[in-house]
């Protein structure tokens, strides 16, 4: 067999490497909806069934005979201000020198944060690798001076590459004319995928809905979100799109609760120390850090368990992206765990002095543990519901309620100093939660927020929200604790109230987590 030497002309390679800010022009005027780009991409990247880096969305508008069908290609927007890069804890998603948002499978831990950060439904978990993948502009081809495979295959040249830093680039000139649109500009991600001739409704997923009789020639996966549930300004019908399933589910809802319990119990313990009960060795010095430690361990287990690549969890520490609240959250949880450990040692040693010294740091770290998720969810730019400024106070109030509730349950089996403190903390927490949740449910924000709130309070998560979150988690325990405080009952009633508050809190979290992801992004 003859040996061949690689012959890649240097000028070819350098062409691909001189580009600095790549974007796409997707020309819906020319697009014929043939799906060639989808298949070329599947082939180029061996994309498994069920997920897509790029796809063609069809929508239909109007009534016979004034009816129309519009095609628009959907994919990663290679945002200049890319939320996926910000949230990615391990730098698996990164900005390439040519402006492309690229990724490195070998760094990905499969946290799926990027999937919630992306306002465009552009990222998926590759079932073959369990890592997050997306359009990377075929950067391995760009490097060799070749266009992306979707560009090459397109029969009508409806997909064009632009180097947006090059004013002489013909495609850049078209974009510069301003007769183009981008998806979700309000997210301020500075997308670099521009659409020409696209029907406005095709780019706004809240203006089209998937009807009950489905799509033109493909099944719709049952979990695919559609705007129809809310009917918010729907003007067109989606007749072809691909599946985008929810990524953060019960494990994340549970993590919010276990973390609240850990934080809350230490907060109440700190409060008791500050109230002078540092000498109560069991109920203040030893049991709270054990309970917190246990729930922190469960929290960690849930977090790691929710990773698609759990064996890589330590990359959070060894390959950290310091801007990601997943990383900062890990640090917070670690610090809180360390304080809990110190507290435990102090408690075992019976050193109320040490506990007094730890009380304020423990209180602060408990607050950070409970509250950091607000910042993490805030980095999920694709989930407007989670961007609410009420989330931080809600998480803190939940921690208070959970801490009081945990003490109320503990009161059944051990001697708790001043049980009324825990009861008042629980009542206060629940009361604050009630006010915050009411404010949230009544809030008017973006169409996206309203759609999510509707899903939570009137849509498919309403039962979870009302029966679980509000009645079981707030109303019943509040009433029970109020009765207990007023009547000075024994520990049984507050304990039941505490258990109900924690279980109800899970239902609330679950409705909030899922409703946030129920709004279609593509």
Q: Select from 30-38, 113-121, 351-359, 378-386 the region that touches other proteins (CB under 8 A).
A: 30-38
Contact 162, 69 (CB under 8 A): no
Going by C-alpha positions, the residue among 337, 385, 382, 381 that lies closest to residue 362 is 337
Contact 330, 369 (CB under 8 A): no
| The binder of other proteins chosen from 65, 167, 178, 488 (CB under 8 A) | 65
Going by C-alpha positions, the residue among 358, 312, 317 that lies closest to residue 334 is 317
Shortest distance, CB of residue 517 to other proteins, whole angstroms?
A: 19
Q: Select from 153-161, 262-270, 284-292, 355-363 the region that touches other proteins (CB under 8 A).
A: 153-161
Complex with other proteins: residue 188 or 221, whichever CB lies closer: 221
Q: Taking CB under 8 A as the rule, does residue 165 contact other proteins?
A: no
Map residues 85-114 to x or -, x wherever contact with other proteins holds by CB under 8 A: -----------x-----x-xxx--------
Complex with other proteins: residue 143 or 415, whichever CB lies closer: 143
Complex with other proteins: residue 67 or 177, whichever CB lies closer: 67
Q: Select from 169-177, 271-279, 370-378, 482-490 the region that touches other proteins (CB under 8 A).
A: 169-177
Going by C-alpha positions, the residue among 515, 392, 374, 380 that lies closest to residue 449 is 515
| The binder of other proteins chosen from 138, 263, 284, 519 (CB under 8 A) | 138
DSSP H helices, 209-308, are 250-272, 287-306
Q: Taking CB under 8 A as the rule, does residue 243 contact other proteins?
A: yes
| The binder of other proteins chosen from 95, 152, 354, 475 (CB under 8 A) | 152
Q: Taking CB under 8 A as the rule, does residue 442 contact other proteins?
A: no
Instruction: Report residue 196 as tokens.
Output: 């020409």
| The binder of other proteins chosen from 86, 130, 144, 351 (CB under 8 A) | 144
Q: Taking CB under 8 A as the rule, does residue 154 contact other proteins?
A: yes
Shortest distance, CB of residue 49 to other proteins, whole angstroms?
A: 4
Q: Taking CB under 8 A as the rule, does residue 149 contact other proteins?
A: yes
Instruction: Report residue 367 as tokens.
Output: 């607050």
Complex with other proteins: residue 80 or 104, whichever CB lies closer: 104
Which residues on adjacent β-strands are paired with residue 54?
75
Complex with other proteins: residue 215 or 503, whichever CB lies closer: 215
Cite the beta strand spans of 288-364 per DSSP E: none
| The binder of other proteins chosen from 146, 235, 390, 471 (CB under 8 A) | 146
**Residues within window 321-350 making contact with other proteins, judged by CB under 8 A:** none
How crowded is the C-beta side of 228, counted as CA atoms within 13 Å? 12
Complex with other proteins: residue 32 or 438, whichever CB lies closer: 32
Contact 91, 323 (CB under 8 A): no
Shortest distance, CB of residue 140 to other proteins, whole angstroms?
A: 4
Shortest distance, CB of residue 510 to other proteins, whole angstroms?
A: 25
How far apart are the C-alpha atoms of 147 and 139, rounded to whole Å? Answer: 9
Distances in whole angstroms, Cα of residue 358 to Cα of each of 262, 267, 289, 292, 352? 16, 11, 12, 15, 10
How far apart are the C-alpha atoms of 204 and 331, rounded to whole Å? Answer: 38
How far apart are the C-alpha atoms of 512 and 278, rounded to whole Å? Answer: 37
| The binder of other proteins chosen from 83, 99, 135, 169 (CB under 8 A) | 169
Complex with other proteins: residue 95 or 350, whichever CB lies closer: 95
Q: Taking CB under 8 A as the rule, does residue 4 contact other proteins?
A: yes
Instruction: Report residue 213 as tokens.
Output: 């009789």
Q: Taking CB under 8 A as the rule, does residue 16 contact other proteins?
A: yes
| The binder of other proteins chosen from 24, 71, 313, 461 (CB under 8 A) | 71
> What is the residue-wise DSSP string for 47-73?
PPTT--SEEEEEEEEEETTEEEEEEEE
Q: Select from 115-123, 140-148, 274-282, 443-451 the region that touches other proteins (CB under 8 A).
A: 140-148
Distances in whole angstroms, Cα of residue 148 to Cα of each of 39, 40, 142, 145, 180? 13, 9, 7, 10, 21
| The binder of other proteins chosen from 101, 125, 132, 142 (CB under 8 A) | 142
How far apart are the C-alpha atoms of 56 and 75, rounded to whole Å? Answer: 9
Complex with other proteins: residue 16 or 371, whichever CB lies closer: 16
Backbone angles phi, psi at 59, to 5 degrees: -130, 155
Q: Taking CB under 8 A as the rule, does residue 40 contact other proteins?
A: yes
Map residues 194-233 to x or -, x wherever contact with other proteins holds by CB under 8 A: -----------------xxxxxxxxx-x------------
Backbone angles phi, psi at 102, to 5 degrees: -110, 175
| The binder of other proteins chosen from 141, 232, 251, 323 (CB under 8 A) | 141
Shortest distance, CB of residue 83 to other proteins, whole angstroms?
A: 21
Shortest distance, CB of residue 114 to other proteins, whole angstroms?
A: 17
Q: Taking CB under 8 A as the rule, does residue 167 contact other proteins?
A: no
Per DSSP, 413 falls in state T
Instruction: Report residue 63 as tokens.
Output: 């009534």
- Spell 184-199 as b/e; 16+ CB within 10 A means b: beebebebbbbbbbbb
Per DSSP, 31 falls in state -
Backbone angles phi, psi at 27, to 5 degrees: -95, 95
Complex with other proteins: residue 196 or 423, whichever CB lies closer: 196
Complex with other proteins: residue 90 or 388, whichever CB lies closer: 90
E strand or H helix at 102: strand 101-103
Interface size with other proteins, residues (CB under 8 A): 87
């Amino acid at each position: 067999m003859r040996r061949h030497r690689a012959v890649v002309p240097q000028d070819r390679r350098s062409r691909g490497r001189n580009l600095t800010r790549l974007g796409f022009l997707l020309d819906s005027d020319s697009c014929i909806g043939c799906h060639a780009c989808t298949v070329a991409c599947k082939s180029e990247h061996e994309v498994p069934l069920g997920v897509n880096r790029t796809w063609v969305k069809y929508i239909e508008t109007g009534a016979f005979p004034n009816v129309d069908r519009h095609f628009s290609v959907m994919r990663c927007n290679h945002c200049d201000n890319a939320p996926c890069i910000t949230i990615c804890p391990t730098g698996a998603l990164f900005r390439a020198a040519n402006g492309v948002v690229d990724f490195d499978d070998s760094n990905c831990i499969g946290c799926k944060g990027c999937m919630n950060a992306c306002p465009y439904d552009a990222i998926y978990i590759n079932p073959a690798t369990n890592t997050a993948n997306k359009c990377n502009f075929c950067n391995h081809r760009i490097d060799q001076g070749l266009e992306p495979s979707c560009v090459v295959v397109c029969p009508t040249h409806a997909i064009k590459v632009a180097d947006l830093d090059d004013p002489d680039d013909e495609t850049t000139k078209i974009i510069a004319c301003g007769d183009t649109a981008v998806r979700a500009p309000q997210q301020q991600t500075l997308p670099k995928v521009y659409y020409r001739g696209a029907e406005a409704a095709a780019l706004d997923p809240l203006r089209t809905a998937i009807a009950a009789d489905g799509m033109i020639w493909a099944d719709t996966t049952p979990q695919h979100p559609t705007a129809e549930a809310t009917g918010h300004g729907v003007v067109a019908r989606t007749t072809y799109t691909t599946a985008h399933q929810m990524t953060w589910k019960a494990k994340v809802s549970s993590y919010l609760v276990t973390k609240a319990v850990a934080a809350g119990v230490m907060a109440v313990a700190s409060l008791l120390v500050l109230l002078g009960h540092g000498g109560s060795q069991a109920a203040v010095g030893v049991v709270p850090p054990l309970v917190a430690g246990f729930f922190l361990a469960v929290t960690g287990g849930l977090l790691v368990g929710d990773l698609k690549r759990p064996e890589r969890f330590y990359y959070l520490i060894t390959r950290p992206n310091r801007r990601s609240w997943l990383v900062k959250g890990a640090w917070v949880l670690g610090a809180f765990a360390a304080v809990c450990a110190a507290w435990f040692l102090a408690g075992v040693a019976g050193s109320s002095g040490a506990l007094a010294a730890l009380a304020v740091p423990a209180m602060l770290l408990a607050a950070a543990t409970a509250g950091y998720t607000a910042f993490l969810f805030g980095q999920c730019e694709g989930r407007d519901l989670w961007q609410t400024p009420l989330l931080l106070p809600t998480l803190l109030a939940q921690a208070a309620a959970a801490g009081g509730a945990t003490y109320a349950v503990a009161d059944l089996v051990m001697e708790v100093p001043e049980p009324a403190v825990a009861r008042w903390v629980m009542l206060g927490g629940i009361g604050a939660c009630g006010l915050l949740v009411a404010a949230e449910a009544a809030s008017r924000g973006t169409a996206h927020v309203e759609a999510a709130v509707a899903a939570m309070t009137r849509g498919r998560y309403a039962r979870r929200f009302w029966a679980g979150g509000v009645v079981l988690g707030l109303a019943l325990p509040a009433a029970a604790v109020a009765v207990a405080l007023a009547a000075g009952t024994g520990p049984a009633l507050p304990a039941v109230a505490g258990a109900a508050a924690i279980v109800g809190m899970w239902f609330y979290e679950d409705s909030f987590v899922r409703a946030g992801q129920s709004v279609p992004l593509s």
